Amino acid sequence: MRIVLKYGGTSVGSLEKIQKIASYIKELKNSFNEIVVVVSAMGKMTDELLNKASFFTKEPNKREIDMLLSIGEQQSIALLSIALNSIGCEAISYTGTQVGIETFGDHGDSQIKNIDIEKIESKLKEQKIVVVAGFQGVNSVGDITTLGRGGSDTTAVALAGRLGCQCRIYTDVDGVYTEDPKKNRLAKKIGKISYDEMEKMSASGAKVMELRSVKIGKEYKVPIFIGESLGNEDGTYIVD
């Protein structure tokens, strides 16, 4: 069996958290023999990189911003891969460019055109855990591009669609709620929700999952799970 996991910025916000994720993935190997992991930049690193760019100008070149921001995910994938290898789990990391995530559109808000999964498939056959940088890809002229808000979710769901498997999105919330639980303590967690319902919620401003990723999940019928990091299964399932 195969699976795609996705960890957001807060989930990989420290070396200790990355270490715990590596340990969890090692345990998961008992249930899934083929694992792909998509990760975001650590914590607030994306904001820190943007602040550095703004030191020089209020309107930095968008191509160069994409080049700069891609550093964040590259750091995360390398660290997680190192952590996995250190505990006996063979892992290999790839940037969006290396793994063949082809994009089109504007810098800072590109869309995925195609994913060449040949390299991933070959490494999975070798029983390696494949760690992929979320949020980024490469356009037709070879420039690094980023996918905009929620781009790592989009990467993970698109990969799951191409690989024909489920996608688990681990974040700092334990599922999808009827309302924002931070604003309304009476908000209830939804155990199961359809793609159409989730699409409406995302379009209305729900930040738990980006609209583009929900549409991709619906198109490829990817079973999606949203829950807290480190394997808490009491989350929300998005299904057909």
pLDDT at position 231 is: 57
Enumerate the domain spans of the chain.
Answer: 2-239
Classify domain 2-239 at the CATH class level.
Answer: alpha beta
CB count within 10 Å of CB 184 equals 11
Q: What is the pLDDT of residues 10-50, one digit of tens each?
A: 999 999 999 999 999 999 999 999 999 999 999 999 999 99
Q: What is the pLDDT of residues 39-59, one digit of tens each?
A: 999 999 999 999 999 999 999
**What does pTM read for this prediction?**
0.94
Q: What is the pLDDT of residues 92-103, one digit of tens each?
A: 999 999 999 999
Rg (CA), the chain: 17
User: HEC profile for 125-173?
Assistant: HCCCEEEEECCEEECCCCCEEECCCCHHHHHHHHHHHHHCCEEEEEECC
- Is residue 23 classed exposed, middle or buried when 0-12, 13-18 and 19+ CB atoms within 10 A define those classes? middle
d(CA 168, CA 21): 13
- In the chain, how long is the greatest CA-to-CA distance? 50
